[in-house]
Structure 1
Amino acid sequence: MQKQSSFKGSPISGTLYLVPTPIGNLQDMTYRAVETLKTVQLIASEDTRNTQKLLNHFEIKTPQKSLHEHNFKERVPELITLLQQGINIAQVSDAGMPSISDPGHELVVACIAEEINVVALPGATAGLTALIASGLNPQPNYFYGFLPRKKSEQLTVLNTLKNEMATLIFYESPYRLKQTVANLAEVFGSRQAVICRELTKVHEEYLRGNLVELASYLAENAVKGECCLMVAGSSGSRKDDVSAETAMLSLKEQVENLVKTGMKPNQAIKTVAQNNQVKKQVVYKNYHEILESAD
């Protein structure tokens, strides 16, 4: 067991401050975050060039050292030594919270192992900010972050999450969003979902609908900017996960909507059969308009 008293006593070593930075709008920088960056002796930055723009805007003169996924093995020991010498260090990522889909966790773990105080400042984070305006149930929620890039690996992960009853939160690149939403529709069916892009910026936009509708939209419309993707949790019944609007569509129309997203007809037929809890042959015959032969 270990006990940390963040603001009591006089620790021999320095303190690591985890400082969130704006995810788009510079006005989201807090007074405390600015003051912390001014008073520490060093800033550990994911990208020093990007952070320098922020420092220039707030007239912060504190020097930086880079700390990212490619150099953390060498840099973390250096930073631990400085902290043990009494140097206070602030850690920042390019946007939002350090360690949340960004570098930082390794330094935190190393500090805890060396009994160096770690103090987190509250501030901007994309996932929860987008969630509370999404219209989806905010509690409980399950933050996943970035899914694997390869389709096979992504489908494997999604299949492990399809029975999760919490609202799911993903981050995604605009270049992979189309395929990711199509994969979600393939695994989750027509569950409600929301895409938020360019959060806090002038072009902030929310796209709300079911996964099939969103996949169909993305098949014909490109999106720009970093995206936060939220999907309603499972209701506990596959049939209940199908929206009322989708339930009103014929089986043929449901298959056609999935095919429009780029899904192959055979997979679309299988997905619609699962969503509606009917045999695959029934959907196949509806889609291909095969009439039952008379006895």
Structure 2
Amino acid sequence: MSFCGSSYSLSMLGTLFVVATPIGNLGDISIRALDTLRQVSMIACEDTRRTQQLMNHYQIKNKLIRYDEHSHKRMSPQILESVGAGQSVALVTDAGTPGVSDPGSRLIQEAIKKRISVVPIPGASSLISALSVSGFGSESFVFLGFLPRRTGRAKRMLREALGLGRTTIVFESPFRIMATLATIEDVCSKADVLLAREMTKMYEEFIRGDIQTVRSMMEKKTPKGEFVLIVEPKID
């Protein structure tokens, strides 16, 4: 396999490609990712309808199969059997890089156990995009993904991470963002926060301030879209 503008080449036989796709703006995808999506035997995706929009935009025709947390047990053996037989499969998530707080991590783990070649095709990541514009320390940070629904467990995780004095990053839905902000203030009342919403999309928004200010600002809004929440504890 060859890629435009590069001498890099890689055999596609028996390979699981972990392909990053845009987090919003369809222009945020690499030439190498597009090449991979065109040439693999099939594409395993969380939502075939969403991935089809990307395929249509770039006029790519390929076989899409659904792979998500509900179909994992049924589809994982089929996908790995195909790769083991010499086919190539691209794994994509709804947005961003697969394997980061999504069901793709389980497929990757099983592929590694079977000694199947797993190759990353780098690209967009909401986690890194938000961190890059946060202005917070990024030499060392903690990523917690989506916090547990139980407040007690969420508090323990946050207390452990923020207690280290490290920048801490979580994903959150619009339905739980207010509760999560309240939990963070309860755990660490002296902290600066960045809320990143709808990054790279039309209604992209960044809300900054100390935890009290951000909570106050959010109380005046109707939360919409997925959030990346970054917290930097203030060290006295």
How does the TM-score come out when normalised to structure 1? 0.74
Structure 1, residues 52-80: CA drift from partner, whole Å, max 9, x if none? 11111111111011111011112111111
Within 5 Å, which residues of 2 pair with 1:225-240?
225-233=225-233, 235=235, 240=236
Q: Which runs of structure 1 show a deviation greater than 4 angstroms over 4 or more consecutive aligned residues?
A: none
The residue that corresponds to 2:134 in the other structure is: 134
Give the equivalent residue in structure 2 for 1:220: 220
Q: Give the equivalent residue in structure 2 for 1:48.
A: 48
Query: Within 5 A, what are the aligned runs for 1:261-280?
Result: none
Alignment of 1:75 with 2:75, yes or no, is yes
Deviations 1:258-288 (A, max 9, x none): xxxxxxxxxxxxxxxxxxxxxxxxxxxxxxx
User: Aligned equivalents of 2:24 and 2:63: distance in 1?
Assistant: 23
Superposition pairs of residues 158-197 of structure 1, within 5 angstroms: 158-197=158-197
- Take 2:219 and 2:94, find their aligned partners in 1: how far apart are those partners? 30
Would the aligned equivalents of 2:142 and 2:161 in 1 still touch at CA under 8 Å?
Answer: no
Check conservation: 1:164, 1:234, Cα contact below 8 A.
Answer: no
- Shifted more, 217-226 versus 203-212: the winner is 217-226
Maintained 8 Å contact 1:192/1:231: yes
1:153 aligns with 2:153: yes
SS in structure 2 at match of 1:139:
coil
SS at 2:27 equivalent: helix
Question: CA offsets, 1:120-143, max 9 Å, x none?
Answer: 011000011111111111221111
Q: Give the counterpart letter for 1:65 in structure 2.
A: I
How far off its partner does 1:7 sit? Answer: 6.3
Structure 2 contact 162–168 (Cα < 8 Å) conserved = no
Assess if the C-alpha contact under 8 Å between 1:182 and 1:212 holds in 2: no
Greater helix content: 1
Matches of residues 25-40 of structure 1 in structure 2 within 5 Å?
Answer: 25-40=25-40
8 Å CA contact retained: 2:14, 2:117: yes
Q: Secondary structure at the match of 2:144?
A: strand
Cα shift at 1:234: 5.6
TM-score by length of 2: 0.91
1:14-61 Cα offsets, whole Å, 9 max, x none, are 100000110000000111111100000100111111111111111111
Q: Write 1 or 2 for the structure with the bigger share of strand.
A: 2
2:105 paired residue number? 105
Q: How far is the alpha carbon of 1:157 from its aligned partner?
A: 2.3
The whole-number CA distance in structure 1 between the counterparts of 2:202 and 2:123 is 20
Conserved 8 A contact 2:190-2:234: no
Shift of 1:152: 2.9
- The alignment partner of 1:70 has SS state of coil
CA–CA separation in structure 2 for the residues paired with 1:224 and 1:115: 41
Deviation at 1:113, TM superposition (A): 1.6
Compute the displacement of 1:195 (Å). Answer: 0.6
- Greater CA radius of gyration, 1 or 2? 1
Instruction: Compute the displacement of 1:147 (Å).
Output: 0.7
CA distance in 2, matches of 1:115, 1:7: 21
CA distance in 2, matches of 1:78, 1:233: 45
Q: Secondary structure at the match of 1:169?
A: strand
Q: How far off is 1:183 after superposition?
A: 1.0
The number of residue pairs the alignment matches comes to 229
- Unpaired segments of 5 or more residues in structure 2? 1-7
**Shift of residue 222, structure 1, vs aligned partner:** 2.2
Output the CA distance in 2 between the equivalents of 1:128 and 1:162: 19
Residue deviations 1:206-245 (CA, integer Å, cap 9, x gap):
111011111122223223211110001463xxxx2xxxxx
Does the Cα contact within 8 Å between 2:188 and 2:233 map onto a contact in 1?
A: no
C-alpha displacement at 1:190, in angstroms? 2.4
Give the C-alpha shift of residue 170 in structure 1: 0.7
Looking at structure 2, the residues matched to 105 and 143 of structure 1 have their Cα atoms a distance apart, in angstroms, of 15
Give the Cα separation in 2 of the matches to 1:64 and 1:221.
38
